[in-house]
């Protein structure tokens, strides 16, 4: 196969793996351990496809505050998933 086709297939496999992890019990458990603000903002951003700007307007806060909260939440999720 052409190298580009191989890369695309590999990317599809990786996407499937990531999607499976997102649906896993471990991820749900990790998300449940986050602060209420982190849970809410991550849910809006990743599962309801809201932009950071939309979340900031909805919650009457700054773009930076939303971005930092999401980043911290993802960092916490990664730590919990490595355990």
pLDDT tens readout for residues 23-38: 677 888 899 999 999 9
Task: Report the pLDDT value the prediction gives residue 25, as an integer from 0 to 100.
Answer: 77
pLDDT tens digit sequence for 67-78? 999 999 999 998
Among the listed residues 30, 37, 27, 22, the one whose alpha carbon sits nearest the alpha carbon of residue 67: 37
DSSP 8-state symbol, 33: T
Q: Which two tokens stand for residue 24?
A: 């896993």
Block residue for tokens 């903002």: 41
User: What is the spatial distance between Cα 61 and Cα 40, in angstroms, rounded to a whole number?
Assistant: 14
DSSP 8-state symbol, 2: -
Residue with the bigger pLDDT between 48 and 34: it is 34
The rounded mean pLDDT for the chain is 84
Give me the mean pLDDT over the 11-15 stretch: 62
Task: Report the pLDDT value the prediction gives residue 50, as an integer from 0 to 100.
Answer: 93
């Amino acid at each position: 196969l052409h190298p580009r086709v191989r890369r695309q297939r590999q990317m599809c496999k990786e996407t499937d793996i990531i999607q499976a992890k997102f649906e896993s019990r471990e991820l749900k458990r990790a998300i449940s351990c986050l602060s209420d603000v982190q849970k809410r903002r991550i849910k809006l951003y990743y599962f309801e496809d809201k932009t950071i700007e939309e979340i900031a307007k909805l919650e009457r806060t700054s773009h930076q505050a939303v971005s930092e909260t999401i980043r911290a939440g993802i960092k916490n999720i990664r730590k919990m998933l490595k355990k």
